[in-house]
Amino acid sequence: MQKIPVGVLGATGMVGQQYIALLANHPWFEVQYVAASPRNAGKSYQEAMAGRWQLATTWGPGVGELILQDANAVASALSAAQQGRLGFVFSALEMGKEEILCLESAYAAGGIPVISNASANRWTADVPMLIAEVNPHHAAIIPIQQKARGWKGFIVVKPNCSIQSYMTPLYALLNRGYQVRRAFVTTLQAVSGAGYPGVPSLDIIDNVVPYIGGEEEKSELEPLKILGEIRNGQIEPASAPKISAHCNRVPVVNGHTACVSLEFGDKKPSIAEVKTLWAGFTGLPQELDLPMAPKHPILLREEANRPQPRKDRDADKAMAVTVGRIRPCPIFDLRFVGLSHNTIRGAAGGGVLNAELLKVQGYLG
Amino acid sequence: MQKIPVGVLGATGMVGQQYIALLANHPWFEVQYVAASPRNAGKSYQEAMAGRWQLATTWGPGVGELILQDANAVASALSAAQQGRLGFVFSALEMGKEEILCLESAYAAGGIPVISNASANRWTADVPMLIAEVNPHHAAIIPIQQKARGWKGFIVVKPNCSIQSYMTPLYALLNRGYQVRRAFVTTLQAVSGAGYPGVPSLDIIDNVVPYIGGEEEKSELEPLKILGEIRNGQIEPASAPKISAHCNRVPVVNGHTACVSLEFGDKKPSIAEVKTLWAGFTGLPQELDLPMAPKHPILLREEANRPQPRKDRDADKAMAVTVGRIRPCPIFDLRFVGLSHNTIRGAAGGGVLNAELLKVQGYLG
Amino acid sequence: MQKIPVGVLGATGMVGQQYIALLANHPWFEVQYVAASPRNAGKSYQEAMAGRWQLATTWGPGVGELILQDANAVASALSAAQQGRLGFVFSALEMGKEEILCLESAYAAGGIPVISNASANRWTADVPMLIAEVNPHHAAIIPIQQKARGWKGFIVVKPNCSIQSYMTPLYALLNRGYQVRRAFVTTLQAVSGAGYPGVPSLDIIDNVVPYIGGEEEKSELEPLKILGEIRNGQIEPASAPKISAHCNRVPVVNGHTACVSLEFGDKKPSIAEVKTLWAGFTGLPQELDLPMAPKHPILLREEANRPQPRKDRDADKAMAVTVGRIRPCPIFDLRFVGLSHNTIRGAAGGGVLNAELLKVQGYLG
Amino acid sequence: MQKIPVGVLGATGMVGQQYIALLANHPWFEVQYVAASPRNAGKSYQEAMAGRWQLATTWGPGVGELILQDANAVASALSAAQQGRLGFVFSALEMGKEEILCLESAYAAGGIPVISNASANRWTADVPMLIAEVNPHHAAIIPIQQKARGWKGFIVVKPNCSIQSYMTPLYALLNRGYQVRRAFVTTLQAVSGAGYPGVPSLDIIDNVVPYIGGEEEKSELEPLKILGEIRNGQIEPASAPKISAHCNRVPVVNGHTACVSLEFGDKKPSIAEVKTLWAGFTGLPQELDLPMAPKHPILLREEANRPQPRKDRDADKAMAVTVGRIRPCPIFDLRFVGLSHNTIRGAAGGGVLNAELLKVQGYLG
């Protein structure tokens, strides 16, 4: 099988680097196009990243030599696409919301599918916000989106990294008929979630910052769109669960931890049922055996003191959500701790998995 | 006024050191007696602490030369008391529960008041668990305790450090007639709470440990005793608020942070009323102008990203609870973040303040 | 005595904040003028610092209400000086070298003495680089500088924070006739040395960065100017000791540590002599009993594992250099570890001490 | 090829865990025997490690079910060896020196080769201290050791983790005829080097500890034995280079950094020659293509701010030494920064590589 040539927009940023690293040996996709801010355009990727590459792993063969394009120059991407050097792009753009809206639309209009990490299009009603194990059926809105917009390409997005540590566990319960009415969530989030340079060390060494701008709103609302239904050409958000989120930044490099209390509807699972259900949960990516899919999307740990970010974030290609401390809640019904790798499962890895899903579903040619 | 000679049991441990440091220039109390495990008995305090003193501040004049006694040798303390060298003791013992129960009783029976940081006696029904601003009236059980036990001394305790970041704010609301039915609390606790050597660095650098043995139970139940009433010679715990606590250890040296959501009874204060009420709250220690009392027991910060442990823990002699992010809760009524210094407000400083209160109330001769 | 009104240029930066905090209750000086970048000009200091104040301590009465001036608008400062609201300025400017050279000259030319933390003028031949305990006599170049430049004001600077942990110990040896021929120095520097936002947390959590731009050159050369002599209207640098410096950034908030090996000339002190000499060292600030002067400029710790930044940086108002591990070197003659607080002793505190010295010497009116 | 059954003594400790993890999929060796302190004997490995396993990776198939033996019960190992279940042991014992000397001798006497991480036998004159790329020829002392002791087994050791970041680079120079007369070394060492629980978090968060007991002596002397020659049945240490080491503990999980200055003899390489020589260096493990051997034992980075522990420690299976900042020294001839993974290259990985070497050399049957 010939690999699909892919591009990374925002290739020099934190998430962009993570995409480049994850795609280094991908069996289906190959990075052949990299774009970033005008400031870096014209440099080789290697040159631009000297002293700025943040990861322990490195890029695939040939990527260092790719010449960075200006991400604003959509024409350059279209020309690459026409020459068969670009099948679709991962967008890890770091710009203002309006700029991203315009730019992602321009790529999509021109015929280039955009698989985006940016938050700009998350609440666009005909743009699906995908977690491959949770709402793969939302991809069905793509042709509707294309038709309504007159686009040959399309845009799909993924949700915020902060919700990944509890969204799949929540869904696994709902999927078995256990309604979740309300959820209290407190997150302890890694600094890599803020990108680079991101959180100043003076703000976080020997410290906690109990505030991340906009994060609580995303943590409370995005699950509702993911659980929503396609109706009248739009994704209509679900009305439950109601979520209250406290979001904190802690001195951890990678891995978001979430302390969660759940209130069920009338049908309440036992602790043992929840454990069995989570440990056994699989979704479409597992069924399709997608390359980036974790074997177990939810990994159950029985030790009293797990999950922990440094020890569990890398589980199963850093794509598993690890859960532990499943126990009754004195106020609601159930408490647990969830953990996921924010720049892999919660960002680039989730994006790659979405692309794999869309490829198998036939949306990527 | 002549200073009262005081002793510190467990003087070499983390909290013991903090007592010694806080009492360095105390206007009413003077450390004249130090006791620890038999292993250190016979050494001068200075000698025993060489290379083990954890604090940036130091001990008062003469303390380095005091000879460490065996904390188990109650007779030695009684003899010091008879010679006028010991008025009461602060207990920062680190032993098994049974041993502490025995030992603290022996001191009290012999006529030496024990102001304890240990958890052993917290649920002894006739032992008051004091936060000086919240339940100073519980000291009234002391004569009942003495009579029932036939003791000349007595035991009072203070609650766990983990509840201090929300207990005083909760009380300030209750005190004004706002019933708090239920509270969700997630704590982000400093490593000093585990004593020394305590948390291994391999467990906490670039990591979070979402579990502290016994801490959630303490965080949920101790507030009920503090809010209880003396009845039939016992402190009968209150029945509300119902609390659900998630306790986490984070890479912070000092300062426990708590993310809290509150559900009120029928009478609900506005956000503005809560702010006014907390900022203006004072208790008996402020009225009495006790030396260790913070001017404002609750300090209100309006910045979006405060309180933070490194920046707020030392506020007002590290005795103030700093609160911030006061905002509505999508599920309950109100959310906020509270922070207090766990080894000062939450341990030794709280103990000293209790002693000052008991002194003024006439219980310490 | 009426306090001298002083200004802080760069008042919103890290070192600027430290100046503001240190001067909060100063017996001789009072902050009445604050200036920063044009962006903040016109705001009250309080308003500009909301959410940006980095320190646990706070500013003095009235400072929050001061209106920030544009630091480039020298005329505004001159006008304040004429109205008796500005005696001299502390410069904590963070700009390009050329801009600082121009700006500091403009203040000095206009009659406002500039006590600077910036590195721009450190190698200006007629500008003294002062450590108050080491080369207070270099202040004698001030009238020469004024005459040559036709200035009514003047400029003095202080050296880089990285040299403070070994410079005073070195000088104390030289001062007693022990020539130091060569010195190997490896520094472990705190993140606050890079200002705010400074070092990204992604670069330093669970990490060391073995490079700080320009720092090794400063660490090797600045001691030579400090040890130099005034000759022909210039400070002529000394030719020894030859220093080799390795500078590293470590995950420490405040406090620079230096591991040092010294080679003496023919006259070699014993370890015991070095200890005695360092423990007993005092300079002119101690003799004059200046408010900011530490009682012992060099503090000797005998424990095997000290000094340590978190435990020793705050010693004696954070103005003492703490030394320990004094032992023979297998290659050179002597090894030791030195430590000082980089933003206090090494920056704002050192600047305040210099100002106190200049005041007593009659240079500040 | 059938795998050699191997044992790990001290299998529950930090280095023991690392051995177990590294051997999980080893092509030649298979863990079939685990031993630890009597306290854990009788438990399955899995059971003993619940909540104590420190690593992100896990053990190989079947290891969790192995029953832990008492490491003191040599008879149990001998019996396993006779039954063909134990070919040799890795010793990661954590006991007193005398106990280890006795115990390792007992295993060796009984016919079980001991490949040890412990320091006890490092200065035993007929025990080789191997770095596989540096002194593989020292294995030739094994038959001499066996004959002199009347042992069927033997003991080999590896040096301390602190020297690994500079020892191979030093050797690569010596090997090309560049004498290194003297070396200044300052290490910044990770907390995992102290084992578990090891360094208390209270000692190292926001801190540096400029002292590690015994580490400077090891760092100065062990290189001399490694560079020594077999003479009269002993390894006679070399007399150069003379090393002066300052050893520091820093808040880093894994990876020791060393800042090094070298003085050459009369023949001095240029900076360019050193770079070429290091980048091209290979040893016997590379020639033999041993499974654990890094492709390049020395990895050269040209960026100004590398190597860094978090970004470089895992290079090439965490077995490469990464060097950078190669530049002239104002006092000696050359400066550089070296970095290696202390629990892999510097401990378990180095031990496995030694075993591979000994296997190929025919010492392990």
What are the pLDDT digits (tens) for C210-224?
Answer: 999 999 999 999 999
Please pick, among C26, C138, C247, C256, the residue that the annotation labels catalytic: C256
Chain B interface disruption, residue of C206, C252, C301, most B CBs within 10 A: C206
What's the distance, Cα to Cα, between the start and end of chain D in Å? Answer: 13
Rounded to a whole number, what is the distance in Å from the CA of B232 to chain C's nearest CA?
47
Chain B: residue nearest C204 by CA? Answer: B206
Both tokens of B145, joined, read: 């305790």
For C150, other C-beta atoms within 10 Å of its C-beta total 7
Q: What is the pLDDT of residue A56?
A: 83
C289: left (phi over 0), alpha (psi -120 to 50) or beta: left
**In chain B, which ranges are E strands?**
4-9, 29-36, 69-70, 88-91, 114-116, 155-157, 180-189, 229-231, 234-236, 242-249, 256-264, 298-300, 321-328, 334-340
Find the helix packing angle between D164-175 and D215-226, rounded to 10°.
30
Both tokens of A350, joined, read: 């989730």
Could you tell me how far CA C73 lies from the centroid of its own chain?
A: 25
SS3 C235: strand
Q: Which residues on chain A are in Cβ contact (under 8 Å) with C202?
A: 14, 54, 191-192, 196-199, 253
CA distance B53 to B51: 6
* Average confidence (pLDDT) over B322-351: 98
Match 């094994």 to its residue by tokens: D142
> What percentage of chain C exceeds 70 in pLDDT?
100
Kindly tell me the number of DSSP H helices and DSSP E strands found in chain C: 13, 14
CA distance D285 to B257: 52
Q: What is the pLDDT of residue C175?
A: 96
Q: Which residues on chain D are in Cβ contact (under 8 Å) with A202?
A: none
Q: What is the pLDDT of residue A213?
A: 96
Q: What is the pLDDT of residue C342?
A: 97
Cβ neighbours for B79, distance < 8 A, ≥ 6 positions apart: none
Q: What is the pLDDT of residue B354?
A: 98
* Average confidence (pLDDT) over A342-362: 97
CA distance D349 to D254: 13
D43: Cα within 13 Å, side-chain hemisphere? 14
Chain A interface includes C354 (CB < 8 A): no
Rounded to a whole number, what is the distance in Å from the CA of B47 to chain A's nearest CA?
30
CA distance A15 to C25: 47
Task: Report the residue from B211, B332, B335 with minimal CB separation from A305.
Answer: B211
Rounded to a whole number, what is the distance in Å from the CA of C243 to chain D's nearest CA?
7
Confirm if A140 and A175 have CB atoms less than 8 A apart: no
> What percentage of chain A exceeds 70 in pLDDT?
100
For D331, other C-beta atoms within 10 Å of its C-beta total 20
Cβ neighbours for C185, distance < 8 A, ≥ 6 positions apart: C166, C219, C243, C244, C245, C246, C258, C259, C260
Helices of type H across D163-300: 164-175, 201-204, 215-226, 271-280, 284-287
CA distance C11 to C17: 6
Chain D interface includes A325 (CB < 8 A): no
SS3 C156: strand
Match 């305040």 to its residue by tokens: C352
Q: What is the pLDDT of residue B242?
A: 98
CA distance D260 to D204: 24
Q: What is the pLDDT of residue A365?
A: 76
Chain B interface includes D201 (CB < 8 A): yes
Q: Which residues on chain B are in Cβ contact (under 8 Å) with D54?
A: 202
Indicate the residue type of A33.
Y
The pLDDT tens digits of the residues spanning A204-255 come to: 999 999 999 999 999 999 999 999 999 999 999 999 999 999 999 999 999 9
D197 and B197: CB-CB below 8 Å?
yes
Cβ neighbours for D53, distance < 8 A, ≥ 6 positions apart: D17
The pLDDT tens digits of the residues spanning A84-93 come to: 999 999 999 9
D206 and B54: CB-CB below 8 Å?
no
Rounded to a whole number, what is the distance in Å from the CA of A55 to chain C's nearest CA?
10
CA distance B186 to B245: 6
Confirm if C36 and C68 have CB atoms less than 8 A apart: yes
Both tokens of C178, joined, read: 């022990």
DSSP state for residue C140 in the 8-state scheme? G
Confirm if C364 and C297 have CB atoms less than 8 A apart: no
The pLDDT tens digits of the residues spanning A38-55 come to: 999 999 999 999 888 888
CA distance D166 to B355: 57
Indicate the residue type of D68.
L
Mean pLDDT of chain B, nearest integer: 96
Q: Is C256 a catalytic residue?
A: yes
Q: Write down the domain spans for chain A.
A: 4-160+347-360, 162-341
Q: In DSSP terms, which residues pair with B67 in a beta bridge?
A: B44
CA distance B71 to B104: 10
Q: Whose CA is closest to A29, among A63, A58, A56?
A: A63
* Average confidence (pLDDT) over B252-269: 98
> What percentage of chain B exceeds 90 in pLDDT?
96
Confirm if B251 and B263 have CB atoms less than 8 A apart: no
D206 and B14: CB-CB below 8 Å?
no
The pLDDT tens digits of the residues spanning C124-173 come to: 999 999 999 999 999 999 999 999 999 999 999 999 999 999 999 999 99
Confirm if C322 and C306 have CB atoms less than 8 A apart: yes
C201 and A251: CB-CB below 8 Å?
yes
Both tokens of D7, joined, read: 């044992």
Residue B127 pLDDT exceeds 90:
yes
Q: What is the pLDDT of residue D277?
A: 98
Please pick, among A138, A256, A296, A341, the residue that the annotation labels catalytic: A256
Tell me how many residue pairs between chain B and chain D have CB atoms under 8 A apart.
60
Tell me how many residue pairs between chain A and chain D have CB atoms under 8 A apart.
31
D204 and B202: CB-CB below 8 Å?
no
Q: In DSSP terms, which residues pair with D260 in a beta bridge?
A: D185, D336
Chain C interface disruption, residue of D192, D209, D218, most C CBs within 10 A: D209
Could you tell me how far CA B20 lies from the centroid of its own chain?
A: 15
Chain B: residue nearest D14 by CA? Answer: B202
Rounded to a whole number, what is the distance in Å from the CA of D326 to chain C's nearest CA?
12
Both tokens of A271, joined, read: 């602790």
Q: How far is CA D21 from CA A248, D153, D305, in A?
A: 33, 25, 31
Q: Whose CA is closest to C157, among C321, C7, C347?
A: C347
Q: In DSSP terms, which residues pair with C61 in a beta bridge?
A: none
A200 and C198: CB-CB below 8 Å?
yes
Q: In DSSP terms, which residues pair with B335 in a beta bridge?
A: B261, B327
Rounded to a whole number, what is the distance in Å from the CA of C245 to chain B's nearest CA?
29
Q: Which residues on chain A are in Cβ contact (under 8 Å) with B205?
A: 310
Both tokens of D40, joined, read: 């854990």
Radius of gyration from C-alpha coordinates of chain C: 20
Task: Report the residue from B197, B198, B205 with minimal CB separation from D191.
Answer: B205
**Residue B39: is it exposed, middle or buried by C-beta count within 10 angstroms (0-12/13-18/19+)?**
exposed
Radius of gyration from C-alpha coordinates of chain B: 20
Confidence bin at C325 (pLDDT 50/70/90): very high
Q: What is the pLDDT of residue A57?
A: 85
* Average confidence (pLDDT) over C297-313: 96
D51 and A303: CB-CB below 8 Å?
yes
Confidence bin at C231 (pLDDT 50/70/90): very high
Confidence bin at A176 (pLDDT 50/70/90): very high
Chain B: residue nearest D211 by CA? Answer: B51
Residue B114 pLDDT exceeds 90:
yes
Chain C interface includes A55 (CB < 8 A): no
> What percentage of chain A exceeds 90 in pLDDT?
96
B209 and A308: CB-CB below 8 Å?
yes
Cβ neighbours for B271, distance < 8 A, ≥ 6 positions apart: B326, B327, B328, B334
D257 and C248: CB-CB below 8 Å?
yes
Q: What is the pLDDT of residue C51?
A: 82
CA distance D307 to D337: 7
Chain B interface includes A182 (CB < 8 A): yes
DSSP state for residue D165 in the 8-state scheme? H
Q: In DSSP terms, which residues pair with D230 in a beta bridge?
A: D235
Name all chains with 3 or more CB-CB pairs below 8 Å to chain D. A, B, C
Q: What is the pLDDT of residue C54?
A: 85
Chain C interface disruption, residue of A54, A202, A212, A313, most C CBs within 10 A: A202
Residues lower than pLDDT 50 in chain D? none
Q: How far is CA A66 from CA A31, A41, A43, A44, in A?
A: 9, 11, 8, 5
Chain D: residue nearest A204 by CA? Answer: D206
Indicate the residue type of A161.
C
Q: What is the pLDDT of residue B209?
A: 98
Chain C: residue nearest B55 by CA? Answer: C311
Confirm if A243 and A223 have CB atoms less than 8 A apart: yes
Chain C: residue nearest B253 by CA? Answer: C310
Confirm if D259 and C210 have CB atoms less than 8 A apart: yes
Q: Is C102 a catalytic residue?
A: no
Chain D interface includes C329 (CB < 8 A): yes
Q: To which H or E segment does residue B273 belong?
A: helix B271-280
The pLDDT tens digits of the residues spanning A53-94 come to: 888 888 999 999 999 999 999 999 999 999 999 999 999 999
SS3 A129: strand
Chain A: residue nearest D305 by CA? Answer: A51
Chain D interface includes B60 (CB < 8 A): no
Q: To which H or E segment does residue C319 belong?
A: none
Chain D interface includes C201 (CB < 8 A): no
Both tokens of A118, joined, read: 């940016």
Rounded to a whole number, what is the distance in Å from the CA of B328 to chain A's nearest CA?
10
**CATH H-level, domain B4-160+347-360: superfamily:** NAD(P)-binding Rossmann-like Domain (3.40.50.720)
* Average confidence (pLDDT) over B334-353: 97
Task: Report the residue from A196, A200, A205 with minimal CB separation from C196.
Answer: A200
Pairing of β B4-9 and β A334-340: unpaired
Q: To which H or E segment does residue D362 belong?
A: none
Residue C240 pLDDT exceeds 90:
yes
D253 and B198: CB-CB below 8 Å?
no
Q: How far is CA C46 from CA B145, C37, C43, C52, C64, in A?
A: 52, 15, 8, 10, 4
CATH topology of domain C162-341: Dihydrodipicolinate Reductase; domain 2 (3.30.360)
SS3 C188: strand
More confident residue, C300 or D51: C300
Q: Which residues on chain D are in Cβ contact (under 8 Å) with C186?
A: 186, 246, 259
Residue B225 pLDDT exceeds 90:
yes
Q: What is the pLDDT of residue B328?
A: 98
Rounded to a whole number, what is the distance in Å from the CA of A195 to chain C's nearest CA?
9
Name all chains with 3 or more CB-CB pairs below 8 Å to chain C. A, B, D
SS3 A101: helix
A223: Cα within 13 Å, side-chain hemisphere? 28
SS3 content of chain C, % helix, strand, coil (to 5): 35, 20, 40
D252 and B205: CB-CB below 8 Å?
yes
Q: What is the pLDDT of residue A51?
A: 82
Q: In DSSP terms, which residues pair with C40 in a beta bridge?
A: none
Q: What is the pLDDT of residue D54?
A: 85
What's the distance, Cα to Cα, between the start and end of chain C in Å? Answer: 13
* Average confidence (pLDDT) over B257-270: 98
Rounded to a whole number, what is the distance in Å from the CA of C307 to chain D's nearest CA?
7
Chain D interface disruption, residue of A49, A52, A57, A303, most D CBs within 10 A: A303
